[in-house]
Amino acid sequence: MDDRRRLDGDPAQHDRAVGLRPSFRPACRSCGQVSDVQMNLTAQLADWAAAQADRPLDAAARHHVRRLWVDYLAAVIPGSSAPTSRQVAAHAAIQYPGDQAEAVGTGRLSALGAALVNGTSAHCLEVDDGYTPGSVHPSTVIFPAVLAAAQAAGSDDEITERALAVGLEVVCRLAAAGHPATWRNHFHNTPVTGVLGSAVAVAVLHRLDAEQIEHALGIAASHAGGLFAFLGQAAEVKRLHPGKAARDGIASAELAAAGVTGPRGVLEAPHGYIDAFARGDFDNETLVGDLGEKWAFLDTYVKPYPCCRHLHGPIDAVRALKAEHQVKAGDVESVTVRTYTVASHHAARTVDEFLDAQMSIPFAVTVALAFDEVGLTEFGDDVRHDATIRALVDRVSVVADADIDAVYPRLRPAIVEITLRDGSVLTHRVDTPYGEPSNPVSDEDMTGKLVRLAGPIIGSDRAAALAEQTWTAPTHRTTLDVALSTSETPGSE
């Protein structure tokens, strides 16, 4: 079965568990054995991870960890003031008291509590990074888990950076190996893969051996979950997905360290991860084919706009048309967006809630037409309830395009067709949205993003100093100390 049939939701294909991708042969159901191609898939991952604790990062990997660290701080600091984050923080203060680690904007909690709060905060504003081949947000799980565990253990900075790199790599590879099948089966890749990645990362931080890491993976797989039912309902549980995965990843690694066992070979075993989440549609080579030879996480993207990544291509296309043709929102009769099927589900026109707007292509296209900037303000209450904005949102349609499906997720194309009131039609195609590795945000703009988003919370000068420190000598201790020094009001430094 090709991706187009899978994405289009052929029911007969949806329930098939065999014969999907050439590189996969499923476990033998009758004999309980695993095919030769899949033998020891989990063990390969565990062996590689265990070896990384004593292996220095190369310059490119180290720089990219720090780049994503800057981006994580740009998400977690402003996100810590979001209503859902405050609600989760209040819960954590009761259920996870302690003095092990810092929850941004809250104070000290247990490591599990800090990971839960920080993972939630980092996902609250939809400004967190991602990995297109896996449709996943790796940093919002891995940084909260590793930094909390590192603070609790007093880990040195070098092993902390290595653990971050390993966790990011596992999430990216595992998500890409199963996507879009996992999405097709209604799962949100970030928590599903994030809990396994964070378990491995924390295991590396604690220098667990390969056998213990395999048990940590087995335990984490029983924590894996997260449904896409939030889409279209403004259900804030989506914000909790990374925090829950980060919390449970720490628990999985530390339980394995304590001697609790998980199923060996949990990825490939009968009734294991691949059977449960991908229904057999899984590419082994993507997971382990060149593991140790290249870092997949170097191809993560960063977000210039505070909304779901599927919206970014259409936004870029509209902005390009505005720049070329000086289009005004009042000139527009209608807009058609052609994109891949996964993105086409983000077509809601009712955007009463903040999250609904962040998930809506019609709304994103409208604000890109109406405003020069597409930032948090443009997704706010005043804009969402503006009658003129709502009228234009209703004239934006989203269409799934089979030709575009054929190149997704290698590319994330969007074609925007704007019909003007005079009858003329303007068209622009974007294959790779701004922020992708092939269309990157500069390091300077990454610093600018941190200052722009965190400045209102901790002050612009402090945010700039935090960025400088993170680029040059990041540490789980002083980085969060700076971020948490919020007693002074912005602008008073």
What separation in angstroms does the CA of 415 have from each of 303, 316, 394, 404, 468? 19, 10, 18, 9, 38
Confidence (pLDDT) at 481: 56
Between helix 189-205 and helix 237-257 the angle, nearest 10°, is 30
Asked if residues 347 and 338 have their Cβ atoms less than 8 Å apart, the reply is no
For the chain, what are the domain ranges? Answer: 3-24+34-299, 309-430
Helix/strand/coil for 136: strand
Task: Tell me how far CA of residue 487 lies from CA of 107, 459, 481, in angstroms.
Answer: 12, 11, 12
Runs of H (alpha helix) within 179-286: 181-184, 189-205, 210-221, 237-257, 273, 284
* Angle of helix 139-153 versus helix 157-178 axis, rounded to 10: 150
> Which residues face 339 on adjacent strands?
400, 414
Q: Which CATH class is domain 309-430?
A: alpha beta
Instruction: Select from 135, 55, 60 the least CA-distant residue to 294.
Output: 60
Reported as half-sphere exposure (CB side, CA atoms, 13 A), residue 189 has a value of 27
Element (H, E) at 45: helix 41-52
Show the 3-state SS of 375-424.
CCHHHCHHHHCCHHHHHHHCCEEEEECHHHHCCCCCCCCEEEEEEECCCC
Q: What is the DSSP letter of 130?
A: B
Superfamily of structural domain 3-24+34-299? 2-methylcitrate dehydratase PrpD (1.10.4100.10)
Q: One digit per residue, pLDDT tens: the chain, 493 residues?
A: 333 323 333 333 333 332 333 333 333 333 344 444 456 999 999 999 999 999 999 999 999 999 999 999 999 999 999 999 999 999 999 999 999 999 999 999 999 999 999 999 999 999 999 999 999 999 999 999 999 999 999 999 999 999 999 999 999 999 999 999 999 999 999 999 999 999 999 999 999 999 999 999 999 999 999 999 998 888 999 999 999 999 999 999 999 999 999 999 999 999 999 999 999 999 999 999 999 999 999 999 999 999 999 999 999 999 999 999 999 999 999 999 999 999 999 999 999 999 999 999 999 999 999 999 999 999 999 999 999 999 999 999 999 999 999 999 999 999 999 999 999 999 999 999 999 999 999 999 999 999 999 999 999 999 999 999 999 988 876 555 555 544 333 333 3
DSSP conformation class of 276: I
